[in-house]
């Protein structure tokens, strides 16, 4: 038995002083669902005991404030914050998140294993537990061009890395159901670990087939009926409330005294602006409480439930031997977080991080935008009659609708129709300079002038642009190429604003506040051009995601996701 365990037992027994004791605390007990009064002793980053402890090198009198476990975000893509790992940690730790589960498949789709090594390396000295689910679908499908290909061979290498706990969301659900050999090889490799799911709309025998492969979670439920069926079959339901995907209100009735242990809160994707202004997983807990969920129950869904699903031992609760990752709260009703502790050390207070970030540039993936030269005329969309397929945005969701609309035609090519909000959508391949350009139509952006472009385009992250005319779309794409990744707004032939994302075309090296301010500025400019969505760039980033129904556009063309095939 190691000396540290002997010493911890001595502190727990009361025979030796603790490093830190919290006194007069209202302790959130996530095991019993109760609030208990008492003191909590901490020694070398672990909780020694809960009870009558007073002997310590340092005493913090909470004077009746609440003490709860640090929050755990069980499914998120940190790249969607547009922040480098250090800035991301400052953003979420200050909001009470002390552990994150991510698969990094966004950056890995661009840069392969180098991306994983870069993020894991940068996270090593941060006061945040980063757990990796190996990215299962790089690329997500064969209907787009990705920057990398993670096969079973690479997945075996990833498995050996520190803090790899399972296989990330298996988005290729048709590959599972129809027994694709490559897909099943990946699943077999991780069959003794946690395998996360991604199965929008699956039910009946298709759901049974998917789950029989050992996949027992889902974060894509958008209806209560879908979530209820998956829970009954044995899935853990990740109730998602992100920047673009908002499912909490619809799914919250699923959480009852009988079912709550099978549910957890996640964000999936959270923008830097939302992290700064609203929060991370704490924002989901806070909203759930506002919607009527009992506060301790809400905290359970963001701590112990997540920890137990992922097998994160000694995490997610205030109990002897558990990690002293803790938050103090002024009250429970609005989850007013006062202080954050990581392994017993204060790391945030009053919403501000108390730690500095040391520059980390080893294996930083940059210079990732490689576009084959093309002309404005290459963006023309040839008409096939007087109707065309249109991707219709569903506000507040990442699902889309497949519509057939009457289109305007001039000189044999389809024109945009701002009166009916039918705009041009373009996806340009940017990893291998292949020259692939997907062209289509989109409805629901509201843009009346100009164009927008972004190198954030789930999951392969080719350059996505939408606009009212080909000239502005072209200029916007060229600006993304010049920046080597980012977001931009163009109108009347001029670049009106940009945000550079030099790390893989997805993440910035700048501080949270700077990135958030620049992003908000771009949103404001887009709104001045007529954009009607709360975050047009976030919505645009999902328009090339060929694993979410119904219709998408990749660099290879339109994809009917329901039939999982490219269409004319």
Residue-level pLDDT at 186: 96
Per residue in 140-161, pLDDT tens? 888 999 999 999 999 999 999 9
362 confidence band (pLDDT: 50, 70, 90): confident
Could you report how far apart the first and last alpha carbons of the chain are, in Å? Answer: 67
Per residue in 271-310, pLDDT tens? 999 999 999 999 999 999 999 999 999 999 999 999 999 9
Residue-level pLDDT at 1: 46
Q: Count H helices and E strands in the chain, helices first.
A: 17, 30
Half-sphere exposure of 176 (CA within 13 A, CB side): 28
Question: By C-alpha distance, which of 193, 196, 72 is closest to 129?
Answer: 72
Quick one: how far is CA 215 from the chain centroid? 19
Peptide bond into 139 cis (omega under 30): yes
Structure tokens at 58: 């340092």
Average pLDDT over residues 81-106: 97
Cα distances from 455 to residues 323, 363, 371, 487, 498, in angstroms, run: 39, 20, 12, 7, 12
Residue 441 · residue 404 · CB < 8 Å? no
How high does pLDDT run on average in the chain? 95
pLDDT at 564 over 90: no
2 confidence band (pLDDT: 50, 70, 90): low
The whole-angstrom separation of Cα 238 and Cα 42 is 31
Q: What angle do CA 48, 54, 58 make, to 5 degrees?
A: 80
Question: By C-alpha distance, which of 108, 33, 28, 119 is closest to 66?
Answer: 28
Q: What angle do CA 391, 394, 400 make, to 5 degrees?
A: 40
Q: Give the range among 209-218, 353-362, 472-481, 501-510 with minimum mean pLDDT.
A: 353-362
Helix (H, G, I), strand (E, B) or coil at 354: coil
Torsion angle of C-alpha atoms 308, 310, 315, 316, degrees rounded to 10: -60
Residues 6+ apart with CB under 8 A from 460: 109, 110, 139, 140, 144, 145, 146, 147, 431, 544, 554, 555
Per residue in 512-522, pLDDT tens? 999 999 999 99
C-beta neighbour count of 80 within 10 angstroms: 26
DSSP H or E segment with residue 457: none
Average pLDDT over residues 18-32: 98
DSSP state letters, 467-530: ESSHHHHHHHHHHHHHHTSEEEEEETTEEEEEEE--BTTTBBSS-HHHHHHHHHHHHHHHHHTT
Q: Give the range among 295-299, 507-511, 560-564 with minimum mean pLDDT.
A: 560-564
Fold topology of 3-64 = Urease, subunit C; domain 1 (2.30.40)
Domain-by-domain residue ranges, the chain?
Answer: 3-64, 69-353, 376-566
Residue 230 · residue 207 · CB < 8 Å? yes
Per residue in 420-439, pLDDT tens? 999 999 999 999 999 999 99
The whole-angstrom separation of Cα 256 and Cα 220 is 20
Question: By C-alpha distance, which of 402, 407, 436, 439 is closest to 421?
Answer: 407
DSSP state letters, 268-297: B---HHHHHHT-SHHHHHHHHHHTT--HHH
DSSP state letters, 195-246: EEE--TT--HHHHHHHHTTT--EES---SHHHHHHHHHTTPEEEEEB-SS-B
The strand pair at 71-73 and 97-102 is best described as: parallel
Sign, CA torsion 341/281/260/64 = positive
Question: By C-alpha distance, which of 462, 433, 436 is closest to 372?
Answer: 433
Residue-level pLDDT at 251: 98
Residue 479 · residue 559 · CB < 8 Å? no
Fold topology of 69-353 = TIM Barrel (3.20.20)
Per residue in 213-251, pLDDT tens? 999 999 999 999 999 999 999 999 999 999 878 999 999
339: exposed, middle or buried (C-beta count within 10 Å: 0-12, 13-18, 19+)? buried
- The pLDDT > 70 percentage for the chain reads 99
pLDDT at 104 over 60: yes
Per residue in 158-210, pLDDT tens? 999 999 999 999 988 989 999 999 999 999 999 999 999 999 999 999 999 99
Q: How many residues does the chain have?
A: 568
């Amino acid at each position: 038995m190691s000396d540290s365990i002997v010493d911890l037992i001595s502190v727990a027994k009361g025979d030796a002083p603790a490093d830190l004791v919290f006194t007069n605390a209202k302790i959130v007990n996530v095991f019993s669902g109760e609030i208990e009064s008492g003191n909590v002793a901490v020694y070398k980053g672990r909780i020694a005991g809960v009870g009558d402890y007073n002997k310590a090198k340092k005493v913090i009198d909470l004077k009746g404030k609440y003490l709860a476990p640090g929050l755990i975000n069980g499914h998120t893509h940190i790249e969607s914050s547009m922040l480098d790992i250090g800035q991301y940690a400052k953003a979420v730790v200050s909001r009470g998140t002390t552990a994150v589960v991510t698969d990094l498949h966004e950056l890995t789709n661009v840069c392969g294993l180098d991306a994983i090594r870069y993020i894991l390396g940068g996270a090593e000295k941060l006061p945040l537990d980063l757990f990796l689910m190996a990215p299962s679908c790089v690329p997500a499908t064969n209907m787009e061009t990705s920057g990398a290909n993670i096969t079973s061979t690479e997945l075996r290498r990833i498995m050996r890395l520190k803090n790899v706990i399972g296989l990330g969301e298996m988005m290729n659900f048709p590959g599972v159901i129809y027994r694709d050999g490559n897909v099943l090889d990946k699943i077999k490799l991780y069959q003794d670990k946690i395998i996360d799911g991604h199965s929008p709309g699956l039910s009946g025998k298709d759901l049974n087939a998917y789950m029989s492969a050992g996949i027992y979670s889902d974060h894509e439920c958008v209806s209560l009926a879908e979530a209820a069926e998956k829970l009954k079959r044995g899935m853990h339901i990740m109730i998602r409330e992100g920047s673009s995907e908002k499912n909490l209100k619809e799914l919250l009735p699923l959480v009852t005294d009988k079912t709550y242990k099978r549910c957890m809160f996640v964000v999936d994707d959270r923008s830097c602006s939302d992290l700064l202004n609203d929060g991370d997983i704490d924002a989901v807990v806070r909203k759930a409480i506002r919607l009527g969920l009992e506060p301790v129950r809400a905290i359970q869904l963001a701590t112990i439930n997540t920890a137990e699903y992922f097998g994160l031992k000694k995490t997610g609760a205030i109990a002897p031997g558990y990690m002293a990752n803790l938050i103090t709260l002024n009250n429970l009703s609005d989850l007013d977080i006062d202080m954050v502790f990581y392994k017993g050390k204060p790391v945030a207070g009053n919403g501000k991080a108390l730690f500095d970030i040391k520059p980390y540039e080893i294996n930083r993936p940059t210079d990732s935008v490689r576009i084959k030269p093309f002309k404005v005329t290459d963006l023309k969309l040839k008409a096939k009659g007087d109707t065309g397929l249109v991707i219709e945005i569903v506000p507040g969701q990442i699902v889309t609708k497949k519509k057939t609309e009457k289109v305007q035609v001039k000189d044999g090519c389809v024109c945009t129709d701002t009166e009916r909000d039918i705009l041009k959508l373009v996806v340009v391949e940017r990893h291998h300079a292949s020259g692939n350009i997907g062209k289509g139509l989109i409805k629901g952006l509201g843009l009346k002038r100009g164009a927008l472009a972004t190198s954030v385009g789930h999951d392969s992250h080719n350059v996505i642009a939408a606009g009212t005319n080909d000239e502005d779309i072209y200029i916007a794409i060229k600006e993304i190429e010049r920046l080597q990744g980012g977001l931009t707004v163009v109108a009347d032939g001029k670049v009106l604003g940009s945000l550079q994302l030099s790390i893989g075309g997805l993440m910035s090296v700048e501080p949270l506040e700077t990135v958030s301010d620049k992003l908000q500025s771009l949103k404001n400019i887009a709104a001045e051009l007529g954009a009607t969505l709360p975050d047009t760039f976030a919505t645009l980033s999902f328009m090339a995601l060929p694993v979410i129904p119904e219709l998408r556009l990749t660099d290879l063309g339109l994809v009917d996701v329901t039939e999982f095939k490219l269409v004319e």
